[in-house]
Amino acid sequence: MEIGKALAPLLDLVFPPRCPLCGTAIVAQNGLCPACWQQLVLPGDPGCRTCARPFTQSIPQDAMCAPCMADPPRHDGIAAATLYNDASRRLVLALKHGNRIALSQMMGGLIAGRMHDVDADWLVVPVPLHRWRLWRRGYNQAAELARVLARQRGARLGVAVLERRKATPSLGGLGRAARQRVLSGAIAVSRRHRSVVKGARIVLVDDVLTSGATSDACVVALKRAGAREVVIGCFARVLDEVL
């Protein structure tokens, strides 16, 4: 028996499980109450054959969404556990800035549930943090999600495959060209891991997929290093038009 599982009853006695969103008593430390579960919005079908963007009306199978037709993506698919709304935002903030690392078990598990094709042949790689931000925060939330995904799908884990070589400001409010300038040269494959990336099928993991600028920079770096396929796995995807 794992030490964590053995100590779980004692932990529950000292810190009774509470829903991280509303504070209601729950059965386990890593879940939500039924009411808050219902607040999460799961991506539905049908969706774009390229990026899985849910369609809001009846569309023929294997159709492509307008954004992908206008600008074909560099990635090979997106698997989002939820669509970004108030509930998912609060979970992301609790994990990212609230030191609620235990939430990664639930959130990473939801991502894993959307990626049934991922197995031992795949390499799971988190979006990297710059070393100064990692030092201040103490952990990379994307790496915590990647650990759970890799363990549940039986895949290989490459926490240090990508590195952020320069600190970048928030991309919020920037246009596409400005985002590309900010991220130019910021993310690269570590020299120590180039042999692992070459020919690999990779899941790129992040907590939130917003504009896609950061994930695009990661995908470009991985494919330049020889990755055969790069699929993005995220907990929350920002698609306001769907909601």
pLDDT digits 0-9 by tens, 71-112: 999 999 999 999 999 999 999 999 999 888 999 999 999 999
Task: State whether the Cα torsion 204-206-208-214 is positive or negative.
Answer: negative
pLDDT for 15 equals: 60
Beta carbons within 8 Å of 161's beta carbon, 6+ residues apart: 123, 125, 189, 190, 193, 196, 197, 222
Range of the domain at 18: 1-39
Among 142, 147, 151, 149, residue whose Cα is nearest residue 209: 142
Q: Are residues 4 and 116 in the same domain?
A: no
Classify residue 7 by its DSSP letter: H
In this structure, the answer to whether residues 112 and 145 fall within a common structural domain is: yes
Is 159 in the same domain as 50?
yes
In-domain check, residue 243: no
For residue 242, tell me if it sits in a domain.
no
Tell me, yes or no, whether 66 and 149 share the same domain. Answer: yes
Residue 7: predicted pLDDT: 45
Q: Name the 3-class secondary structure at 79.
A: strand
Instruction: Tell me the average pLDDT across 187-194.
Output: 95
Question: Are residue 201 and residue 116 in the same domain, yes or no?
Answer: yes
Assign 172 a pLDDT band (cuts: 50, 70, 90).
low
Residues 35 and 46 in one domain: no
CB 49 within 8 A of CB 63: yes
pLDDT band, residue 177 (cuts 50/70/90): confident
What's the total number of domains in the chain?
2
CATH of residue 50's domain is 3.40.50.2020
Rounded Cα distance between 65 and 137, Å, is 37
Q: Does residue 185 sit within a domain?
A: yes
Identify the band that residue 173 occupies on the pLDDT scale cut at 50, 70 and 90. Answer: low
Answer yes or no: do 50 and 160 share one domain.
yes
pLDDT computed for residue 46 by the predictor: 87
- pLDDT tens digits along 28-69: 767 899 999 999 999 988 899 999 999 877 777 789 999 999
What's the confidence (pLDDT) of residue 197? 98
Amino acid at 34: P
Taking only the tens place, the pLDDT of each residue in 2-35 is: 444 544 444 454 567 889 999 898 877 678 999 9
Residues 110, 224, single domain; the answer is: yes
Determine what percent of the chain is predicted with pLDDT higher than 70. 89
Q: Is the model's pLDDT at 199 over the cut of 50?
A: yes
Residues 183 and 148 grouped into a single domain: yes
For residue range 143-160, list pLDDT tens digits in order.
Answer: 999 999 999 999 999 999
Q: Judge whether 20 lies within some domain.
A: yes
